[in-house]
Structure 1
Amino acid sequence: MTSRVPTSRVLPSGLLTRLAVLLAAAAVSTGAIAQERTLRLVSGFPENGIYVQRLLPWIKQFNTEGKGVLQINFLGGPKAIPAFEVGNAVKTGVVDMALTTGAFYTNVMPEADFLKLTQVSVVEQRKNGAFDAINKVWNEKGNMQYLARVVENQPFHIYTNKKIDKPDLTGQKIRISPVYRDFFQALNANVVTTAPGEVYTALERGVVDGYGWPIGGIFDLNWHEKTKFRVDPGFYDAEVSLIMNLPSFKKLTDAQRAFLDKQLAAYEAGNAFWTQYGKDEAARQEKAGIQTIRFDEATAKSFRDKAYDIGWAGAAKQSPDIAARFKPLFSSPAAK
């Protein structure tokens, strides 16, 4: 009996060509998917506030342009991670990125509060070495990369229901945050610490006579309904930035980092918005019946100078070497 030896099945050459093309395309597609990375981002601010409302379109554009390279998964605001836990979440890698302010993560690194003392633009901070100096500290002490400052030209103000004619808050109970505690105490205020969500009721019941807050945002909290006066000039600069877990940042490929840098530059390029926003909010406050208390030019300068002198004194007490390193980079030319 003659055995039959099986022969190999020969595919038509055209089919082989098409199969090779499909396999090559699949390999390219798989490689692209393998290269794409998704970063988890949280916000220390509520989702209905102006900061997140400006963040969301940026994320949408980021994800549209970053397909195959880098994506962002926005997890939400304080309901996802409480505001004062966001810094530690970034430091430990629970999340990759956060939109927050240094005042929210002084528990991780007290030097984060120094960012309020900047008197030069973000553009200038990148040119004069301030960003590099910040990142040296953030890398070493916070296990973080300081990516971008996306809010500027938003000074803090004193808001009060008791009219004053000089920079003296004697007899007034003022709600504070750590950002301006030392300054308000130097103005003889009786300082009160309470969560933002409790300020409206505190004003309504006379538990506090006023509060410190940036030029924008009081309408989001309805505080305008219980506020009579705003004191000018403003002082310090409300800082809101994007920070990133350092190991996560270091894992980015060259292409991913280049893409991230491009998107961060585009985000910062929109910071001119805040100057007009501040003007609009001041006009809105006036329309709502909030009167402006203005000092004469010499008193106003002394008031602002005192704020920065006290701020830098506190920074020097906390971290003398870092404060000395930051001050010439953060200060306005006139203050140097």
Structure 2
Amino acid sequence: MERRTLVRAAAALLATGLAGGAAAQEVTLRLVSAFAENGIYVQRLQPWIQKFNAEGKGLLQINFIGGPRAIPTFEVGNAVKTGVVDLAMSTGAFYTNVMPEADFLKLTQVPIAEQRRNGAWEAINQVWNEKGNMQYLGRMVENQPFHIYVNKPVSKPDLTGLKIRITPVYRDFFQALNANVITTAPGEVYTALERGVVDGYGWPIGGIFDLNWQEKTKYRIDPGFYDAEVSLVMNLPAYRKLTPQQRDFLQKQVLALEGENTFWTKYAADEAARQEKAGIQAIRFDAASSKAFVDKAYQVAWASAEKQSPDVAKRFKPLFAPK
């Protein structure tokens, strides 16, 4: 009887150990968004998280913590770097306080699929690993040019006398156009426009309706420039703790998310039409001025990048350029 009891006890302990081992295999990653939860980027990410969790049961899960109300926009990068959270959906412009090179991602002129083929993705990760304590997982937004939105008409690429809200994305370019620049978080722009603190702002083609900025916007300057980059980044130690199986699953899911990036081309066209319908007029320059405008945007940005981090800029520039 005593022997039988010991066998049963040993079996119970073994079962408990096996169950504990199985449970320990599943890892939950904490994810935060640098963008508002009601915005298009989070809306696009939510179905992906649901699919991720459904297919990753027993292996890998994501716990979406929230947007800027959880962690302020410009603190998200440091939260990833220090491991306060495991994952973030953000844009490089929002974590230049962690690593200035993050802003260089706006200068990519080839899609993420090509970046993975031509070595750009690996080059980015070498820098992100070393300087940001991050793993650059993948890019979920492409084909979203930035524009200048203003409440006063301009007849040429010159912003003299205008107060323009910026992020690091376009600080140097707008200053080169003689603007007076003001940095604010996205959540403060509506009030700044309403009170006349700013005369306009830089923003991608999409997303202004999510923030109701169309109510305070009269003009959009065309053409667009750069490419809005929204990506998933991960704390490097957390990434390295994953098993090979978990990493493979994570990469598979990120590649699936990138595979949906064709959405953004149509979205850009739809948003331009929506802006027109809302009364936002497009300001267009002649062909020569338009080309000079875009050329200047890239010349100023690369010059700034080369001054800030010459080795990284030299490495990135040929990989980011179209062939």
Give the structure 2 partner of residue 64 of structure 1.
Answer: 54
Distance 1:51 1:10 in 2: 60
Q: Secondary structure at the match of 1:54?
A: helix
Q: Say if 2:73 and 2:185, in contact at 8 Å, map to a contact too.
A: no
- Report whether the alignment pairs 1:216 with 2:212: no
After superposition, the C-alpha distances for 1:38-64 in whole angstroms (9 at most, x for unaligned) are 111111111111111111111111111
Aligned match of 1:197 in 187, 198, 203?
A: 187
RMSD: 2.0
Distance 1:254 1:195 in 2: 38
Aligned residue runs from structure 1 range 125-140, under 5 A: 125-140=115-130
Give the structure 2 partner of residue 307 of structure 1.
Answer: 297
Q: Say if 1:45 and 1:77, in contact at 8 Å, map to a contact too.
A: yes
Q: How many residues align?
A: 321
After superposition, the C-alpha distances for 1:164-191 in whole angstroms (9 at most, x for unaligned) are 2211112222222221111111111122
1:27 CA drift (Å): 6.1
Q: How many percent identity over aligned positions?
A: 75
Give the structure 2 partner of residue 329 of structure 1.
Answer: 319
Deviates more, 1:289-298 or 1:121-130: 289-298
Q: Secondary structure at the match of 2:297?
A: helix
- Report whether the alignment pairs 1:178 with 2:139: no
Give the structure 2 partner of residue 260 of structure 1.
Answer: 250
Distance 1:96 1:189 in 2: 38
1:207 CA drift (Å): 2.6
After superposition, the C-alpha distances for 1:143-171 in whole angstroms (9 at most, x for unaligned) are 11000111111111011122222111122
Q: Secondary structure at the match of 1:217?
A: coil
Aligned match of 1:273 in 263, 276, 287?
A: 263
Distance 1:9 1:316 in 2: 76
Structure 1: state its 5+ residue gaps: 1-6
Which letter does structure 1 place at the counterpart of 2:232? L
Which letter does structure 2 place at the counterpart of 1:172? L
Normalised by the length of structure 2, the TM-score is 0.94
Larger radius of gyration between Structure 1 and Structure 2 = 1
Aligned residue runs from structure 1 range 79-228, under 5 A: 79-228=69-218
Structure 1's 296 and 36: CA in aligned 2 closer, same or farther, altered over 3 A?
same
Aligned match of 2:36 in 39, 46, 54?
A: 46
Aligned match of 2:220 in 223, 230, 235?
A: 230
- Report whether the alignment pairs 1:316 with 2:314: no
Q: Secondary structure at the match of 2:202?
A: strand
1:73 CA drift (Å): 1.0
Q: Say if 1:32 and 1:69, in contact at 8 Å, map to a contact too.
A: no
Structure 2: state its 5+ residue gaps: none
Distance 2:284 2:193 in 1: 22
